[in-house]
Chains A and B, each alone.
Chain A
Amino acid sequence: MVDVSIAQLLFVSFGIFCIGASGFLIRKNAISLLICLELMLNAVNIAFISFSRFHNNESGAVLYFFVITVAACETAVGLAIILNLFRLKKNIRIQEANALRG
């Protein structure tokens, strides 16, 4: 067990979330976007577990469980969409995935 304050853990979580969010906003590759999304979800999970430990309550771990469920669904569906995009356009650059722009 480590003797740290929750602020340090939240700082780590915030740093990883910022790196993931900036990568999500800057990258142009659809698979990289999904990977950055995973980073952000992981940062949120760290915050959940930190607060769970802080309050000595397992509810945070249960929320972590639901977050990874949603993350697994999102990854699977997102990769299937990317596969379809690749079949349609022969690349996965998000600038060219503008069919919904109208």
Chain B
Amino acid sequence: MMDLAFYLVAGLMLLSAGLVAYRPKPLESALWLILHFFLTSTLYVFLGADFVAVVQLLVYAGAIVVLFTFVILLLNLNPQEISGGESLRWTSTVLFLCALGAVLFCLHIASPSLLEKMPAAGPSFGSIEAFSRMMIQNYSWSFEIAGLLLLLAVVGVGLLAYRRPSHRKPKDLENKREAA
């Protein structure tokens, strides 16, 4: 029964990934991405990693997809600009993916232990306590650096997206104020 559920979720994940990658409109891609992230979260629940599943929903489906949707709606592109067609880089794409698959297949042959059933998870696997113990005890410096990276990204985005007020003519602003 659970195996059937796993195959259902895996198949739906691949299907929604295909829809995300190949729907012509970016907004549809973003909406299918929500379904994909929900299914990924389901897979994490199947694996017993509960905290990771919650983080997946909060951060990916909650924040990143909203950011994408916001920017897509903000840009307000007209349809012929979006559907610029697909480029003809099919051969290089297929070659690249074949090479990647060959490398993975060699790895797969080299380690037959991958085909065994997974051992039972420990009692505390996936709990927030085990996760935070591991993170604070072994990876505390990396944690700090990740926080610094987020700070730098916030500052960088502010610098990139900031439009200087001198670009606007002061007359337009006054007209707008009067109109308001």
Contacts and interface: CB of A to CB of B under 8 A. Distances in A.
A34 B92 CA distance: 20
Contact of B13 (A12, A34, A64, A81): A12
A5 B115 contact: yes
Interface in A5-61: 5-10, 12, 14-23, 25-29, 31-32, 34-36, 38-39, 42, 45-46, 49-50, 52-54, 56, 58-59, 61
Contacts of A17: 100
B30 A1 contact: no
A25 B114 CA distance: 30
Interface of B: 2-3, 5-6, 10, 13-14, 17-18, 20-22, 26, 29-30, 33, 36-37, 40, 43-44, 46-49, 51-52, 55-56, 59-60, 63-64, 67-68, 71-72, 74-75, 77, 81-82, 84-87, 89-90, 92-93, 96-97, 100-101, 104, 108, 114-122, 125-126, 130-131, 133-135, 138-139, 142, 146, 149-150, 152-154, 156-157, 160-161, 163
Interface of A: 1-10, 12, 14-23, 25-29, 31-32, 34-36, 38-39, 42, 45-46, 49-50, 52-54, 56, 58-59, 61-62, 64-66, 68-73, 75-77, 79-84, 86-87, 91-93, 95
